[in-house]
């Protein structure tokens, strides 16, 4: 019997309500906390061919940042409903697929922690060393103590179960795709919503910068009034152990994936504006990472659904924008 978590319950209700024929759900792994066990669910929707254009969506890497999982689940609710009546969308999903882990760190989320139940920050856990000079002390990843935030895990230890689950799911379902765009949903940094492309480890240019810029241009031209600040993650700060840096290196170094395009993005929802407009929310444990007022919450839900939809179409039609 699994423990309850609001986001997990919402997701499971959604899956029961929409038993779509081309939707598969698997329990990829389970994580234990002191009292309860939680599943990490992985969903694949649409074209079952693993080489098909794939949009990979990940939420809840940091347990405190519940809004990321909530945006993702809200998007799935819109999508599943539309798939019951929109024939164009049904046709599109014969071509593309969405692979998603909406709640990667349910143990952390259940305990309102950024880290997983072992105290490890999953976004500092990959075997990637940053040599950059603008890596902030502690925030960039530390091995001093799991009691401090941004803990990388013990030196030389295997990946944490959640991190390994993400890597295995991506290898099986996403890196195989001729075109794969990924979005990892986070919140808590800055005044604006940012879309980050790699690297996190270095300020050296990202090898797929041309492709990332082509997608930026497409977004700028399509939604002239979009709100996103699009930049390299390393423009804000650099870190050790980023899982997307790691996955990107796996992808780039494998001859299997030559001529494939894998572009992982991070959506960092700028929660400091929520704080500025409602300073008392800092008193809530989720206040730094979550819009507390209902109208602001609804706006966040609406805004990013449009972005995910754009990414889906861009994934499906990459030949029309990608410079390959
Ligand atoms: Zn985060």
Percent of the chain residues topping a pLDDT of 90: 82
64 alpha carbon – ligand 1 mean position (Å): 8
Residue 268 Cα to ligand 1 middle (Å): 7
Does residue 1 belong to any structural domain of this protein?
no
What is the mean predicted confidence (pLDDT) over 27-48?
96
pLDDT in tens, 151-162: 999 999 999 999
Ligand 1: distance of its center to the CA of 70 in Å?
Answer: 14
- For position 114, which CATH number holds? 3.40.630.10
Distance 267 CA to ligand 1 centre (A): 9
Instruction: Tell me the CA–centroid distance for residue 62 and ligand 1, in Å.
Output: 5
Which pLDDT belongs to residue 300? 81
Are 130 and 246 within 8 A, CB to CB? no
Q: What are the strands of the beta sheet with 23-32, ordered from one edge? A: 23-32, 37-46, 97-101, 54-58, 179-187, 261-269, 194-197, 229-232
Task: Determine the distance from the C-alpha atom of residue 214 to the mean position of all C-alpha atoms in its chain, rounded to a whole number.
Answer: 21
User: Model-level pTM?
Assistant: 0.94
Q: How confident is the model at residue 281 (pLDDT cuts 50, 70, 90)?
A: low
Listed in sequence order, the residues at least 6 apart from 205 whose beta carbon sits closer than 8 Å to its beta carbon are: none
What are the phi and psi torsion angles at 15 (to 5°)? -65, -35
Alpha-carbon span 47 to 309, nearest angstrom: 17
State mean pLDDT over 31-52: 96
DSSP string, 70-101: HHHHHHHHHHHHHHTT-HHHHHHHHH-EEEEE
User: What tens digit of pLDDT does each residue of 187-237 get?
Assistant: 987 788 999 999 999 999 999 999 999 999 999 999 999 999 999 999 988
Give one DSSP letter per residue of 172-217, joined into a string: HHTTTSSEEEEEEEEE-SSSS-EEEESPSS-SSPPTTHHHHHHHHH
Ligand 1 center to residue 201 CA distance, Å? 16
Residue 269 counted as domain residue: yes
> Ligand 1 center to residue 66 CA distance, Å?
10
165-185 pLDDT per residue, tens: 999 999 999 999 999 999 999
Cis peptide before 296 (omega within 30 of 0): no
Using DSSP, state whether 229 is helix, strand or coil: strand
Taking the centre of ligand 1 as the mean of its atom positions, its distance from the CA of residue 319, in whole angstroms, is 31
With residue 163 as reference, give the H or E element that holds it. Answer: helix 161-173
The number of domains in the chain is 1
Q: How far is the CA of 139 from the centre of ligand 1 (A)?
A: 12
The alpha carbon of 168 is separated from its chain's Cα centroid by a whole number of angstroms, namely 15
**Nearest to residue 183, comparing CAs of 164, 173, 197?**
197
Percent of the chain with pLDDT over 70: 93
Domain of 159, in residue numbers:
6-320
Report helix, strand or coil for 109: helix
CA–centroid distance, 186 to ligand 1, in Å, is 4
Q: How far is the CA of 121 from the centre of ligand 1 (A)?
A: 9
CB-proximal residues (5 Å) to ion ligand 1: 62, 65, 186
């Amino acid at each position: 019997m699994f423990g309850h978590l609001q986001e997990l319950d919402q997701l499971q209700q959604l899956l029961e309500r929409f038993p779509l024929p081309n939707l598969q759900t698997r329990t990829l792994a389970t994580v234990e906390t002191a009292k309860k066990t939680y599943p990490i669910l992985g969903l694949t929707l649409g074209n079952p061919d693993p080489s098909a254009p794939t949009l990979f969506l990940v939420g809840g890497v940091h347990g405190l940042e519940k809004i990321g999982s909530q945006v993702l689940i809200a998007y799935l609710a819109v999508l599943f409903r539309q798939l019951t009546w929109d024939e164009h969308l049904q046709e599109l999903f014969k071509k593309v697929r969405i692979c998603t882990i909406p709640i990667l760190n349910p143990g952390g989320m259940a305990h309102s922690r950024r880290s997983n139940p072992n105290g490890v920050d999953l976004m500092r856990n990959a075997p990637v060393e940053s040599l950059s000079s603008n890596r902030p002390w502690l925030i960039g990843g530390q091995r001093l103590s799991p009691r401090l935030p941004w803990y990388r895990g013990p030196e030389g230890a295997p990946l944490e179960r959640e991190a390994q689950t993400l890597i295995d799911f991506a290898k099986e379902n996403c890196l195989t795709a001729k075109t794969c765009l990924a979005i990892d949903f986070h919140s808590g940094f800055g005044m604006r919503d940012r879309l980050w492309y790699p690297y996190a480890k270095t300020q050296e240019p990202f090898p797929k910068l041309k492709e990332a810029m082509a997608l930026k241009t497409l977004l700028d031209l399509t939604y002239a009034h979009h709100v996103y600040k699009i930049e390299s993650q390393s423009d804000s700060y650099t870190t050790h152990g980023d899982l997307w840096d790691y996955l990107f290196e796996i992808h780039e170094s494998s001859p299997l994936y030559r001529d494939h395009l894998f572009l992982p993005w991070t959506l960092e929802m700028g929660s400091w504006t929520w704080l500025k407009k409602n300073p008392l929310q800092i008193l809530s444990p989720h206040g730094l990472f979550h819009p507390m007022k209902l109208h602001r919450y609804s706006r966040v839900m609406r805004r990013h659904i449009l972005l995910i939809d754009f990414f889906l179409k861009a994934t499906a039609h990459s030949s029309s924008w990608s410079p390959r």
